[in-house]
């Protein structure tokens, strides 16, 4: 099966993630060396430099991956960060003697089929990752989350987790993180349909 040629660089956490992704994608892949990026001025400078036209972030869907994604958002402007999430699947990587703290497979534990599926799904929203023209589209806003009870209200965290699960995203995301992720993986119309079952935009 041919590799997917990506026109944007990809950030992953470690070398085994890079090996897994390299099996399905022809791309410039950079590792954060886990939390090593926090203390590496050179790695942060590299990521800042290669992200001029955008960069794909493909960290694990656990809390550690969330911390790294948040750190990267302080290095690269949010409009250049394309968040790519792998599904939350319980399990253990073959090379490890025990599961991770949260018992979830990381990028390295994903099958080639899942990685291809997630990349192609991202390309539907952001064709520029395959060298196509970027599409201007209406984005999901902070106001949308607030009006739908996903931020600033009672049980907002539980509602965010529910929407995240339906969208194939990790649980425990802040409103800010969920907003960034949703705008990467779906259109505003798809979001409204996901949450309310209605494609009509009642705010316009």
pLDDT tens digits, one per residue of 55-73:
999 999 888 999 999 999 9
Spatial separation of the C-alpha atoms in residues 121 and 35, rounded to whole Å: 28
Look at residue 186 and tell me whether its pLDDT is greater than 70: yes
For residue 149, give the nearest of 195, 190, 184 by alpha carbon.
195
Look at residue 198 and tell me whether its pLDDT is greater than 90: no
CATH number of 4-130: 3.40.50.670
Long-range contact set of residues 165-170: C-beta below 8 Å, sequence gap at least 24: 166/194, 167/194, 168/85, 168/87, 169/61, 169/85, 170/61, 170/62, 170/65, 170/66, 170/85, 170/88
User: What is the CA angle 89-173-189, rounded to 5?
Assistant: 90
pLDDT tens digits, one per residue of 105-124:
999 999 999 999 999 999 98
Predicted TM-score (pTM) of this structure? 0.83
Give the pLDDT score at 204. 43
Q: Residue 203 — pLDDT band, cuts 50, 70, 90?
A: very low
pLDDT tens digits, one per residue of 1-13:
799 999 999 999 9
CB 150 within 8 A of CB 160: yes
Give the pLDDT score at 180. 86
Edge-to-edge strand order for the sheet containing 29-31?
29-31, 10-12, 55-57, 81-83
Spatial separation of the C-alpha atoms in residues 12 and 155, rounded to whole Å: 32
pLDDT tens digits, one per residue of 155-170:
999 999 999 999 888 8
Domain with CATH 3.40.50.670 in the chain: 4-130
Residues with Cβ within 8 Å of 197's Cβ and at least 6 positions away in sequence, in order, are: none
Looking at residue 104, the DSSP 8-state letter turns out to be B
Average pLDDT, the chain: 90
Q: SS3 of 57, please? A: strand
**What is the average per-residue pLDDT within 160-182?**
90
Spatial separation of the C-alpha atoms in residues 63 and 57, rounded to whole Å: 15
**What is the average per-residue pLDDT within 165-193?**
89
Look at residue 201 and tell me whether its pLDDT is greater than 70: no
């Amino acid at each position: 099966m041919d590799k997917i040629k990506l026109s944007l660089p990809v950030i992953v956490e470690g070398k085994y993630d890079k090996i897994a992704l390299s099996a399905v994608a022809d791309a410039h892949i950079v590792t954060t060396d886990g939390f090593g990026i926090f203390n590496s001025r050179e790695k942060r400078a590299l990521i800042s430099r290669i992200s001029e036209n955008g960069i794909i972030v493909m960290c694990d869907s656990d809390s550690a991956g969330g911390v790294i994604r948040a750190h990267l958002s302080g290095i690269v402007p949010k409009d250049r960060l394309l968040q790519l999430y792998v599904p939350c699947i319980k399990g253990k990587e073959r090379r490890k003697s025990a599961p991770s703290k949260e018992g979830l497979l990381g990028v390295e534990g994903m099958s080639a089929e899942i990685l291809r599926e997630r990349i192609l799904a991202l390309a539907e929203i952001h064709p520029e990752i395959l060298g196509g023209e970027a599409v201007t589209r209406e984005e999901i806003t902070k106001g949308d989350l607030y009006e739908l009870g996903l931020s600033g209200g009672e049980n907002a965290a539980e509602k965010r987790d529910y929407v995240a699960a339906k969208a194939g995203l990790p649980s425990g995301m802040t409103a800010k993180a969920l907003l960034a992720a949703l705008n990467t993986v779906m259109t505003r119309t798809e979001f409204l349909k996901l949450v309310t079952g209605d494609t009509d935009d009642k705010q316009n």
